[in-house]
Structure 1
Protein backbone atom coordinates (compact mmCIF):
# COMPACT_ATOMS: atom_id res chain seq x y z
CA UNK A 1 0.00 0.00 0.00
CA UNK A 2 2.89 2.34 0.83
CA UNK A 3 4.47 1.82 -2.63
CA UNK A 4 1.12 2.47 -4.29
CA UNK A 5 0.66 5.78 -2.44
CA UNK A 6 4.26 6.80 -3.18
CA UNK A 7 3.72 6.20 -6.90
CA UNK A 8 0.61 8.37 -6.86
CA UNK A 9 1.94 11.31 -4.85
CA UNK A 10 5.73 11.46 -5.35
CA UNK A 11 7.50 12.06 -8.65
CA UNK A 12 11.01 12.15 -7.14
CA UNK A 13 10.95 8.64 -5.71
CA UNK A 14 11.10 6.10 -8.56
CA UNK A 15 8.27 6.24 -11.08
CA UNK A 16 4.74 7.58 -10.84
CA UNK A 17 1.63 5.71 -11.93
CA UNK A 18 1.51 7.74 -15.14
CA UNK A 19 5.12 6.84 -15.97
CA UNK A 20 4.46 3.20 -15.16
CA UNK A 21 1.44 3.16 -17.50
CA UNK A 22 3.28 5.01 -20.30
CA UNK A 23 6.25 2.64 -19.98
CA UNK A 24 3.95 -0.38 -20.06
CA UNK A 25 2.17 0.91 -23.19
CA UNK A 26 5.06 2.40 -25.18
CA UNK A 27 8.36 1.46 -23.61
CA UNK A 28 10.94 -0.96 -24.89
CA UNK A 29 13.58 -1.73 -22.28
CA UNK A 30 17.00 -0.84 -23.66
CA UNK A 31 19.21 -1.60 -20.68
CA UNK A 32 20.23 -1.00 -17.10
CA UNK A 33 23.31 0.68 -15.64
CA UNK A 34 25.44 -0.43 -12.70
CA UNK A 35 23.39 1.73 -10.29
CA UNK A 36 20.13 -0.06 -11.18
CA UNK A 37 18.60 2.74 -13.30
CA UNK A 38 16.55 1.30 -16.19
CA UNK A 39 16.48 2.95 -19.62
CA UNK A 40 13.60 2.83 -22.11
CA UNK A 41 12.84 3.92 -25.65
CA UNK A 42 9.51 4.16 -27.44
CA UNK A 43 7.30 6.47 -29.43
CA UNK A 44 8.61 9.67 -30.96
CA UNK A 45 9.21 13.22 -29.80
CA UNK A 46 7.79 16.29 -31.56
CA UNK A 47 11.12 16.47 -33.45
CA UNK A 48 10.68 12.95 -34.82
CA UNK A 49 13.37 11.47 -32.58
CA UNK A 50 12.73 8.31 -30.56
CA UNK A 51 11.53 9.17 -27.06
CA UNK A 52 14.03 8.04 -24.39
CA UNK A 53 13.62 8.02 -20.62
CA UNK A 54 15.09 6.58 -17.48
CA UNK A 55 13.43 5.16 -14.41
CA UNK A 56 15.75 5.83 -11.51
CA UNK A 57 16.40 3.39 -8.75
CA UNK A 58 15.56 5.43 -5.67
CA UNK A 59 15.41 9.20 -5.82
CA UNK A 60 15.34 10.88 -9.22
CA UNK A 61 18.60 12.75 -9.73
CA UNK A 62 20.02 13.37 -13.20
CA UNK A 63 23.58 13.18 -11.89
CA UNK A 64 23.02 9.44 -11.32
CA UNK A 65 23.28 8.77 -15.08
CA UNK A 66 26.76 7.54 -16.09
CA UNK A 67 28.63 9.03 -19.08
CA UNK A 68 27.80 6.29 -21.60
CA UNK A 69 24.08 6.45 -20.87
CA UNK A 70 24.14 10.25 -20.78
CA UNK A 71 25.34 10.30 -24.39
CA UNK A 72 22.54 7.94 -25.41
CA UNK A 73 19.86 9.89 -23.53
CA UNK A 74 20.89 13.13 -25.25
CA UNK A 75 20.99 11.61 -28.76
CA UNK A 76 24.78 11.90 -29.13
CA UNK A 77 24.74 8.27 -30.17
CA UNK A 78 22.01 6.00 -31.45
CA UNK A 79 23.62 2.91 -29.96
CA UNK A 80 22.92 2.25 -26.28
CA UNK A 81 25.92 1.33 -24.09
CA UNK A 82 24.99 -2.38 -23.68
CA UNK A 83 24.89 -2.85 -27.46
CA UNK A 84 27.97 -0.69 -28.00
CA UNK A 85 30.08 -2.60 -25.43
CA UNK A 86 30.94 0.78 -23.94
CA UNK A 87 33.96 0.65 -21.69
CA UNK A 88 35.32 3.75 -19.98
CA UNK A 89 38.86 4.79 -20.81
CA UNK A 90 41.65 3.88 -18.37
CA UNK A 91 41.91 7.46 -17.16
CA UNK A 92 38.18 7.76 -16.35
CA UNK A 93 37.12 7.40 -12.75
CA UNK A 94 34.04 5.34 -11.84
CA UNK A 95 30.84 7.37 -12.04
CA UNK A 96 29.63 9.04 -8.85
CA UNK A 97 26.47 11.05 -8.48
CA UNK A 98 26.63 14.71 -7.44
CA UNK A 99 27.40 14.75 -3.72
CA UNK A 100 26.75 18.46 -3.15
CA UNK A 101 24.67 18.98 -0.02
CA UNK A 102 25.61 15.63 1.49
CA UNK A 103 28.16 14.76 4.16
CA UNK A 104 30.39 13.29 1.43
CA UNK A 105 30.63 16.60 -0.50
CA UNK A 106 34.07 18.08 -1.22
CA UNK A 107 35.12 20.64 1.37
CA UNK A 108 38.50 22.23 0.70
CA UNK A 109 40.79 23.26 3.53
CA UNK A 110 39.76 26.65 4.89
CA UNK A 111 36.12 26.45 3.85
CA UNK A 112 33.42 27.35 6.33
CA UNK A 113 32.40 23.69 6.69
CA UNK A 114 35.88 22.53 7.71
CA UNK A 115 37.96 23.62 10.67
CA UNK A 116 41.33 25.11 9.90
CA UNK A 117 42.80 27.97 7.92
CA UNK A 118 43.13 28.58 4.23
CA UNK A 119 46.63 28.09 2.89
CA UNK A 120 48.58 31.32 2.48
CA UNK A 121 48.99 32.72 -1.01
CA UNK A 122 52.36 31.98 -2.59
CA UNK A 123 54.00 32.66 -5.91
CA UNK A 124 53.19 35.49 -8.28
CA UNK A 125 49.58 35.93 -7.16
CA UNK A 126 48.72 38.78 -4.83
CA UNK A 127 45.29 38.65 -3.22
CA UNK A 128 43.19 41.76 -3.64
CA UNK A 129 42.46 43.75 -0.50
CA UNK A 130 40.14 46.76 -0.22
CA UNK A 131 41.97 50.07 -0.64
CA UNK A 132 44.68 48.79 -2.99
Structure 2
Protein backbone atom coordinates (compact mmCIF):
# COMPACT_ATOMS: atom_id res chain seq x y z
CA UNK A 1 0.00 0.00 0.00
CA UNK A 2 2.85 2.38 0.86
CA UNK A 3 4.47 1.81 -2.55
CA UNK A 4 1.18 2.61 -4.31
CA UNK A 5 0.76 5.86 -2.37
CA UNK A 6 4.35 6.85 -3.13
CA UNK A 7 3.76 6.30 -6.85
CA UNK A 8 0.58 8.38 -6.77
CA UNK A 9 1.87 11.36 -4.80
CA UNK A 10 5.65 11.62 -5.18
CA UNK A 11 7.38 12.84 -8.32
CA UNK A 12 10.95 13.17 -6.98
CA UNK A 13 11.62 9.47 -6.55
CA UNK A 14 10.81 7.64 -9.77
CA UNK A 15 7.66 8.10 -11.79
CA UNK A 16 4.14 8.83 -10.66
CA UNK A 17 1.09 6.92 -11.86
CA UNK A 18 0.30 9.79 -14.26
CA UNK A 19 3.77 9.66 -15.80
CA UNK A 20 3.58 5.88 -15.99
CA UNK A 21 0.24 6.07 -17.84
CA UNK A 22 1.45 8.85 -20.18
CA UNK A 23 4.61 6.89 -20.95
CA UNK A 24 2.66 3.68 -21.57
CA UNK A 25 0.23 5.47 -23.88
CA UNK A 26 2.51 7.90 -25.79
CA UNK A 27 6.12 6.94 -25.17
CA UNK A 28 8.57 5.11 -27.36
CA UNK A 29 11.67 3.99 -25.48
CA UNK A 30 14.74 5.56 -27.07
CA UNK A 31 17.48 4.31 -24.78
CA UNK A 32 19.04 3.99 -21.36
CA UNK A 33 22.19 5.59 -19.99
CA UNK A 34 24.88 4.06 -17.80
CA UNK A 35 23.15 5.35 -14.64
CA UNK A 36 19.93 3.48 -15.40
CA UNK A 37 17.84 6.49 -16.50
CA UNK A 38 15.42 5.63 -19.32
CA UNK A 39 14.67 8.10 -22.14
CA UNK A 40 11.43 8.34 -24.12
CA UNK A 41 10.06 10.21 -27.08
CA UNK A 42 6.46 10.54 -28.26
CA UNK A 43 3.91 13.09 -29.39
CA UNK A 44 4.81 16.67 -30.19
CA UNK A 45 5.32 19.86 -28.23
CA UNK A 46 3.43 23.08 -28.96
CA UNK A 47 6.39 24.09 -31.16
CA UNK A 48 6.05 20.95 -33.28
CA UNK A 49 9.15 19.27 -31.84
CA UNK A 50 9.04 15.67 -30.64
CA UNK A 51 8.29 15.49 -26.90
CA UNK A 52 11.17 13.97 -24.95
CA UNK A 53 11.38 12.96 -21.30
CA UNK A 54 13.41 10.88 -18.90
CA UNK A 55 12.41 8.48 -16.13
CA UNK A 56 15.16 8.73 -13.53
CA UNK A 57 16.43 5.72 -11.68
CA UNK A 58 15.91 6.70 -8.07
CA UNK A 59 15.85 10.33 -6.98
CA UNK A 60 14.97 12.81 -9.75
CA UNK A 61 17.99 15.07 -10.25
CA UNK A 62 18.83 16.68 -13.59
CA UNK A 63 22.56 16.39 -12.89
CA UNK A 64 22.16 12.61 -13.35
CA UNK A 65 21.79 13.11 -17.12
CA UNK A 66 25.11 12.54 -18.95
CA UNK A 67 26.25 15.08 -21.54
CA UNK A 68 25.23 13.11 -24.63
CA UNK A 69 21.70 12.58 -23.36
CA UNK A 70 21.52 16.19 -22.17
CA UNK A 71 22.19 17.35 -25.72
CA UNK A 72 19.49 15.06 -27.08
CA UNK A 73 16.94 16.11 -24.42
CA UNK A 74 17.49 19.79 -25.31
CA UNK A 75 17.24 19.24 -29.09
CA UNK A 76 20.93 19.93 -29.74
CA UNK A 77 21.00 16.69 -31.75
CA UNK A 78 18.35 14.49 -33.31
CA UNK A 79 20.29 11.25 -32.91
CA UNK A 80 20.22 9.86 -29.35
CA UNK A 81 23.50 8.55 -27.90
CA UNK A 82 22.10 4.99 -27.96
CA UNK A 83 21.98 5.12 -31.77
CA UNK A 84 25.43 6.56 -32.49
CA UNK A 85 28.98 5.36 -32.04
CA UNK A 86 30.22 7.90 -29.53
CA UNK A 87 33.68 7.31 -28.17
CA UNK A 88 34.76 9.43 -25.21
CA UNK A 89 38.16 11.07 -25.52
CA UNK A 90 40.93 9.89 -23.22
CA UNK A 91 40.91 13.18 -21.28
CA UNK A 92 37.17 13.06 -20.52
CA UNK A 93 36.16 11.90 -17.07
CA UNK A 94 33.14 9.63 -16.56
CA UNK A 95 29.94 11.51 -15.75
CA UNK A 96 28.93 11.81 -12.10
CA UNK A 97 25.81 13.36 -10.65
CA UNK A 98 26.04 16.44 -8.44
CA UNK A 99 27.74 15.44 -5.18
CA UNK A 100 26.78 18.56 -3.18
CA UNK A 101 25.58 17.64 0.29
CA UNK A 102 27.24 14.24 0.29
CA UNK A 103 30.51 12.96 1.73
CA UNK A 104 31.91 12.92 -1.82
CA UNK A 105 31.40 16.65 -2.38
CA UNK A 106 34.44 18.74 -3.27
CA UNK A 107 35.85 20.67 -0.33
CA UNK A 108 38.68 23.05 -1.22
CA UNK A 109 41.69 23.40 1.09
CA UNK A 110 40.89 25.74 3.98
CA UNK A 111 37.16 24.98 3.91
CA UNK A 112 35.47 24.65 7.29
CA UNK A 113 34.03 21.35 6.10
CA UNK A 114 37.47 19.77 5.63
CA UNK A 115 38.16 17.25 8.36
CA UNK A 116 41.35 17.60 10.35
CA UNK A 117 43.48 20.31 11.87
CA UNK A 118 43.60 23.66 10.12
CA UNK A 119 47.06 25.16 9.67
CA UNK A 120 48.09 27.86 12.08
CA UNK A 121 47.77 31.45 10.89
CA UNK A 122 51.03 32.84 9.54
CA UNK A 123 52.63 36.22 10.23
CA UNK A 124 50.61 38.09 7.62
CA UNK A 125 47.64 38.37 9.99
CA UNK A 126 47.21 40.61 13.02
CA UNK A 127 44.27 39.82 15.25
CA UNK A 128 42.05 42.78 16.14
CA UNK A 129 41.68 43.59 19.79
CA UNK A 130 39.17 46.12 21.13
CA UNK A 131 40.67 49.49 22.06
CA UNK A 132 43.57 49.41 19.61
Q: Common fold, TM-score beyond 0.5?
A: yes
TM-score by length of 2: 0.86
**CA spacing shift, 1:53–1:108, aligned 2, 3 Å:** same
TM-superposed CA distance for 1:103, in Å, is 1.2
Q: Which runs of 4+ in 1 moved over 2 A?
A: 117-120
Q: Aligned partners of 2:53, 2:41: CA distance in 1, in Å?
A: 7
Runs of 5+ in structure 2 lacking a partner?
123-132
Which residue number corresponds to residue 65 of structure 1?
65
When Rg is computed on C-alpha atoms for both structures, the one with the higher figure is 2
The answer to whether the 8 Å contact 1:7/1:17 transfers is: yes
**CA spacing shift, 1:86–1:7, aligned 2, 3 Å:** same
TM-score by length of 1: 0.86
Which residue number corresponds to residue 35 of structure 2?
35
**CA spacing shift, 1:49–1:90, aligned 2, 3 Å:** same
Cα RMSD of the aligned pairs, angstroms, is 1.6
| Structure of higher RCO (CA pairs closer than 8 Å, 6+ residues apart) | 2
Aligned length: 120
**CA spacing shift, 1:91–1:3, aligned 2, 3 Å:** same
